[in-house]
Amino acid sequence: MASAAPAAGQSAEPLHGIRLVIACITLAVTNFMVVLDTTIANVSVPHIAGGLGISASQGTWVITSYAVAEAVCVPLTGWLAQRFGAVRTFAFGMVGFGLFSFLCGVSTTLTMLVACRVGQGLCGGPLMPLSQTLLLRIFPKEQHAQAMGIWAMTTVVAPILGPILGGTISDNWSWHWIFFINIPVALGCAAGAMLVVRVVETPIRRVPIDMIGLALLVLWIGALQIMLDLGREHDWFSDSFIVALAIIAAVGFVAFLIWELTEANPVVDLRVFRHRGFSAAVVTTAFAFGTFFSTIVVIPQWLQVGLGYTATKAGYVMAFMGVAAVVMSPIVAKLLSKIDPRALVCFGVAWLGMTSLLRAGWSTEADFWTLAIPQMVQGFGMPFFFVAVTTLALGAVRPEETASAAGLLSFLRTMSGAVGTSIVATAWDDKTRVARSEIVSSLNTQSVSDALSAQGFSLDQVRVLIERSVEQQAQALATTQVFLVASAMFAFAAAIIWLSPRPRKDVDTSAAH
């Protein structure tokens, strides 16, 4: 893979005083905003769906389109930074992110919104690795650990605040403002980059780019994601369009593999998969993160559609997940030097599976704390997975391959989240329809209708109440089934990590993002 982030050059003089503070805030806020946008829309999907007149499953395209576009752009970060300079690329990405945020906010159709989210993801993709790299350039070498601590904290805190902020904005203003709030931040950070951070600009040089590999990457990923998003509505492979997309994705993927394995300067360096430790860590990440991310998309939808929660209240339920995660992150970082990272990853992923089993007991009678406590418990295990698996993956490759491995890990993590969300959203909707049919077939509607009528309800009111109750119960059953499957997926991912050999060297995780 083209370097996902250029190395922190030693020729650049670090900043000091107020300039260092301003530059640090600029870069930290940028990373915070980009990560925030991966979760801020999660609790707003029902609002967006209602505002655009679409189904909740279609509303998830707003999440997956951003994630896919961001993932596709990550391999280009190194090339862009070398060709135009890291700071210029950063500033241009910020301006583009702000522009597409504005267009997202004024979107009146699903097509326009998804297209603008793609643009947002393409501009935002390089910002996360570049903010990390530039932080290392503005801080003196002896403060690099502190710089990475700042970067890691924004990465952990942003997904926590995303659901709260998204819910509050959607309930009190409108869903459009979850995008509009990015505009002043993007412009301010772009200005800060050009005025303060540009003194640590990276050298510019012409480097080759694998255009064919990039085109094949976009082709097969785009076809796969569209197939997953549209498959249910088109009755899957009974529709020729879905079949065509599946063929394009399959052929494009094979062609991509062949090309990248034979290209001298591949856009994605697949050769790092020859390291067994890296391969095991990546497969574990793909299954575990894809399952994790898809469930945190489904939960707020069920809370709002099935239980009648407001977006704000659903955001508070989701935010409990981050409380323990923030506390445990520095502890896990210290444990990495003392405990086999494979054991830490296995424990973390298994812990996520255990919390999925806790959610499998949810019902329509669940109160706030019944819903929030599993979120808090899950947060305890998250750092064991997220921190340790990165160390394990990068510890398995050669030092000169670290940047490529980090970029590939980030790319597959983001892609697995998007693909997993599409699959789980479709499965959740299908299981809801099946459960609804089973409930209706076994329900004695006449006795229920008579009982409600005896309480003074009109015939129309009785029908609405029965229909609403059936729908709520069907969604609850579908949700529990999703979490039962999720627990099995986590167990599978936890077992895979043991295919990795124990790392034998310390890893510079500053290349990870």
Distance of alpha carbon 203 from alpha carbon 205, whole angstroms: 7
- Entry pTM: 0.77
What's the mean pLDDT in 13-28? Answer: 81
User: Do residues 16 and 199 touch, judged by C-beta distance below 8 A?
Assistant: no
**Bigger pLDDT: 434 or 54?**
434
Amino acid letter for position 262: T
Whether pLDDT at 475 is above 80? yes
Look up residue 5 and give its DSSP letter: S
Distance of alpha carbon 99 from alpha carbon 182, whole angstroms: 9
Could you count the other beta carbons within 10 Å of the beta carbon of residue 405?
Answer: 27
Structure tokens at 219: 């082709």
Whether pLDDT at 80 is above 50? yes
Runs of H (alpha helix) within 336-401: 341-359, 368-395
Same fold, 1-209 and 286-513: yes
Residues 27-43 pLDDT 10s: 888 888 888 877 777 67
Distance of alpha carbon 100 from alpha carbon 122, whole angstroms: 10
Distance of alpha carbon 142 from alpha carbon 156, whole angstroms: 23
Residues 382-397 pLDDT 10s: 888 877 887 788 778 7
pLDDT level of residue 450 (50, 70, 90 thresholds): low
User: Do residues 211 and 75 touch, judged by C-beta distance below 8 A?
Assistant: no
Please report where in the chains the tokens 């998309």 appear, as a residue.
Answer: 297
User: Do residues 3 and 405 touch, judged by C-beta distance below 8 A?
Assistant: no
Look up residue 8 and give its DSSP letter: -
What's the mean pLDDT in 213-237? Answer: 81
Among 224-233, 349-358, 427-436, name the most confident range. 349-358
pLDDT level of residue 95 (50, 70, 90 thresholds): very high
**Bigger pLDDT: 386 or 192?**
192
Whether pLDDT at 506 is above 60? no
Cβ-count burial 129-145 (b if 16+ within 10 Å, e if not): bbbbbbbbbbbeeebbe
Could you count the other beta carbons within 10 Å of the beta carbon of residue 108?
Answer: 9
Structure tokens at 190: 């772009």
pLDDT at 6: 44
Please report where in the chains the tokens 């007991």 appear, as a residue.
Answer: 361
Could you count the other beta carbons within 10 Å of the beta carbon of residue 103?
Answer: 17
Q: Name the average pLDDT for the chain.
A: 81
Among 24-28, 145-149, 409-413, name the most confident range. 24-28
Cβ-count burial 467-503 (b if 16+ within 10 Å, e if not): eeebbbbbbbbbbbbbbebbbebbbbbbebbeebeeb
**Bigger pLDDT: 63 or 113?**
113
pLDDT level of residue 261 (50, 70, 90 thresholds): confident
Calculate the alpha carbon distances from 360 to 149, 431, 446, 490 in Å: 35, 14, 31, 14
Whether pLDDT at 489 is above 90? yes
Distance of alpha carbon 54 from alpha carbon 229, whole angstroms: 13
pLDDT at 393: 82
pLDDT level of residue 492 (50, 70, 90 thresholds): very high
Whether pLDDT at 490 is above 90? yes
Distance of alpha carbon 391 from alpha carbon 1, whole angstroms: 19
Q: Above pLDDT 70, what percent of the chain?
A: 88
Among 216-220, 267-271, 366-370, 488-492, name the most confident range. 488-492
Nearest partner of 75 among 193, 213, 204, 203, judged by Cα: 213
pLDDT at 99: 93
pLDDT level of residue 494 (50, 70, 90 thresholds): very high
Amino acid letter for position 223: A
Calculate the alpha carbon distances from 305 to 14, 52, 318 in Å: 51, 16, 15
Calculate the alpha carbon distances from 34 to 67, 162, 349 in Å: 11, 11, 25
pLDDT level of residue 496 (50, 70, 90 thresholds): very high
**Bigger pLDDT: 2 or 230?**
230
pLDDT level of residue 493 (50, 70, 90 thresholds): very high
Whether pLDDT at 89 is above 50? yes
Whether pLDDT at 267 is above 70? yes
Structure tokens at 221: 């990923």
Instruction: Please state the domain extents for the chain.
Output: 1-209, 210-266, 286-513
Whether pLDDT at 507 is above 70? no
Distance of alpha carbon 165 from alpha carbon 488, whole angstroms: 32
pLDDT at 389: 83
Whether pLDDT at 278 is above 60? yes
Distance of alpha carbon 86 from alpha carbon 194, whole angstroms: 11
Whether pLDDT at 284 is above 90? yes
User: Do residues 278 and 291 touch, judged by C-beta distance below 8 A?
Assistant: no
∠ CA 159-162-166, nearest 5°, is 160
What's the mean pLDDT in 368-378? Answer: 88
Which CATH superfamily, name and number, covers 1-209?
Answer: MFS general substrate transporter like domains (1.20.1250.20)
Nearest partner of 373 among 386, 354, 355, judged by Cα: 355
Distance of alpha carbon 281 from alpha carbon 265, whole angstroms: 24
Say which residues have a Cβ less than 8 Å from residue 19's Cβ, sequence separation at least 6: 196
Residues 302-347 pLDDT 10s: 888 778 888 788 888 887 777 777 788 778 777 877 888 889 899 9
Residues 231-256 pLDDT 10s: 777 777 788 888 998 899 899 999 98
pLDDT at 234: 74
Distance of alpha carbon 146 from alpha carbon 148, whole angstroms: 5
User: Do residues 315 and 163 touch, judged by C-beta distance below 8 A?
Assistant: yes
Whether pLDDT at 2 is above 70? no
CATH number for region 286-513: 1.20.1250.20
**What count of residues does the chain have?**
513
What's the mean pLDDT in 246-272? Answer: 86
